[in-house]
Structure formats: structure tokens, C-alpha cells
């Protein structure tokens, strides 16, 4: 924190108005260590100040919080749902405050999901104009071919107004009964990966997101686990 007026600090940290903060000051409930000459609304405080109200230390809230979640199947990417468990329920209640998932993974999709309270960052990652890469690994019923690689690179018709933007398909393992693929897309249309695979006559059996922009799913993060990150 750079230096800040005391009334503003209290308002930000306690989610109160500056008027309410000033009232607390008048009531003598606020103390600062190291003690400045006087404790006024305009008194400047900084990183080395400890502010207490009624003897309780008040700390500035963290700016924004970011959790990387390895979403398990069976949870919906929502903050509330009347029928299903939501991804937020994977965090303890005291951590859920104002968090939301950045974008949606289908209920049966696993893997990387960012939970945050940072609306501006969510917009950056989700805005269609930004073309943020999202990479998925999938098990597919049917045999993906070099023609599919070409078709995905050129863009295919999935029943939207326009074809999909160029996508990178890698065939990780090919076999008679099914393949494992890695697919990087620049958009986030509803069921996009499943619809792209279906458009070339195959079917996604399981789907996992492994990255989104610079964010990568950490190898050691098991399904259902989350970790706090700094952005």
C-alpha cells in the first residue's frame, strides 16, 4: 500500500463509508502504531502502520484473488444452481466471497478453471476479440485424421453464423477404437470442442482443459483441488 488517508483506508478495509469511518475516529475507537501526532481522517498511513479499531487489527483487503481450480466432472461452472453442485462449493465458504468462474466448462468437462473476483481480467480472457488460446485434451470415439487437422486449421462449420477460427489439432494417439487429441481453440462457443469433433463425424468421450492463455493446469493439482495464484 502506498500512503493513504486514514478514513479512506478504513472505508476500503471495512467496507464502510468515509462518513462512518470519520464517526469511528471521533468516537476514539481508532488507534495507529507507530502513533502519529494526531489521529485525523486525513492522517496518512502506509505499509508500516498498524491500524486498530476497538483493539482489532484492520488490514487492507487484497486487491483481487485468483484461484486455479482443477474442475472435477459433475460440477457446474456457476456461482449458484438449484439442482447441481457448483464449482464454488469446492472452496470453503469464507473463500467464496464475490468469486465467480471465468467462463464455463461443461458439467462433464474437467480441468483448468480460473475463479476470481476480477471482472476486468475475466473480460480480457473471455472477450471474443482477444482470441485467447484455450487448449483441451480429449478422448475421442472415431479416428481423427490429417484431413481433420487441415479442416480445423482452416475453420469449420459448427452451425454458427461464421466458421470457427483456425484451431490447432494434434493427434496424441491414434487407434482403431479411438484417439487422444489435443485441440487449441481461440474462441469459447457453447460446447465448441464437442461440436467441432462432431462436425467431422467423431465424438468426444471425455474432455479436459489444460490451459487458457498463460494459465496452465499444474501437473500436481488433482481434480477437485485448487491453488491460489498471483496475477
Q: Is 231 helix (H, G, I), strand (E, B) or coil?
A: coil
Residues in the chain: 231
Q: Is 72 helix (H, G, I), strand (E, B) or coil?
A: coil
User: Per rule CB under 6 A, is residue 76 in the interface with ligand URA?
Assistant: no
Nearer to ligand URA, 33 or 160 (CB): 160
User: Could you tell me the smallest distance in angstroms from the CB atom of residue 209 to ligand URA?
Assistant: 6
User: Could you tell me the smallest distance in angstroms from the CB atom of residue 145 to ligand URA?
Assistant: 20
User: Per rule CB under 6 A, is residue 110 in the interface with ligand URA?
Assistant: no
CA 124 to chain centroid, in Å, comes to: 11
Q: Is 95 helix (H, G, I), strand (E, B) or coil?
A: helix
**Contact range with ligand URA by CB under 6 A, out of 86-94, 123-131, 147-155, 188-196:** 188-196
How does DSSP assign 187-205, residue by residue? ---TTHHHHHHHHTT-EEE
**Of 206, 223, 161, nearest to 187 (Cα)?**
161
User: Per rule CB under 6 A, is residue 192 in the interface with ligand URA?
Assistant: yes
User: Per rule CB under 6 A, is residue 71 in the interface with ligand URA?
Assistant: no
**Of 169, 226, 229, 171, nearest to 196 (Cα)?**
169
Nearer to ligand URA, 18 or 104 (CB): 104
**157 flagged as catalytic:** no
**Contact range with ligand URA by CB under 6 A, out of 2-10, 40-48, 57-65, 105-113:** 105-113
Number of residues lying near ligand URA (CB under 6 A): 8
Q: Where are the alpha helices (DSSP H) in the chain?
A: 6-14, 18-26, 119-126, 146-154, 192-199
User: Per rule CB under 6 A, is residue 193 in the interface with ligand URA?
Assistant: yes
Interacting residue ranges for ligand URA, rule: CB under 6 A: 105-106, 109, 191-194, 207
Among all residues, which ones are annotated catalytic?
106
Amino acid at each position: 500500500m502506498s500512503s493513504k488517508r486514514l478514513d479512506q483506508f478504513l472505508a476500503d478495509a471495512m467496507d464502510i463509508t468515509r462518513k462512518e469511518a470519520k464517526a469511528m475516529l471521533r468516537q476514539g475507537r481508532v488507534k495507529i502504531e507507530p502513533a502519529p501526532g494526531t489521529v485525523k481522517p486525513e492522517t496518512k498511513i502506509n505499509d508500516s502502520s498498524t491500524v486498530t479499531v476497538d483493539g482489532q487489527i484492520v488490514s487492507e483487503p487484497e486487491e483481487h484473488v485468483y484461484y486455479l481450480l482443477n474442475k472435477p466432472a459433475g460440477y457446474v461452472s456457476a456461482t449458484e444452481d438449484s439442482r447441481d453442485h457448483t464449482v464454488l462449493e469446492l472452496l470453503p465458504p469464507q473463500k467464496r466471497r464475490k468469486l465467480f468462474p471465468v467462463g464455463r466448462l461443461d458439467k462433464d468437462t474437467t480441468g483448468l478453471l480460473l475463479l476470481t473476483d476480477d471482472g476486468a481480467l475475466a473480460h480480457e480472457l473471455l472477450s471474443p476479440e482477444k482470441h485467447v488460446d484455450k487448449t483441451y485434451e480429449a478422448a475421442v470415439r472415431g479416428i481423427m485424421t490429417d484431413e481433420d487437422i487441415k479442416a480445423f486449421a482452416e475453420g469449420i462449420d459448427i452451425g454458427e453464423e461464421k466458421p470457427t477460427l483456425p484451431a490447432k489439432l494434434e493427434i496424441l494417439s491414434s487407434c482403431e477404437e479411438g484417439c487422444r487429441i489435443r485441440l487449441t481453440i481461440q474462441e469459447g462457443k457453447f460446447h465448441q470442442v464437442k461440436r467441432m469433433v462432431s462436425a467431422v463425424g467423431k465424438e468426444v468421450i471425455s474432455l479436459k482443459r489444460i490451459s487458457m492463455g498463460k494459465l496452465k493446469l499444474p501437473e500436481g493439482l488433482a481434480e477437485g483441488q485448487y491453488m491460489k495464484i498471483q496475477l
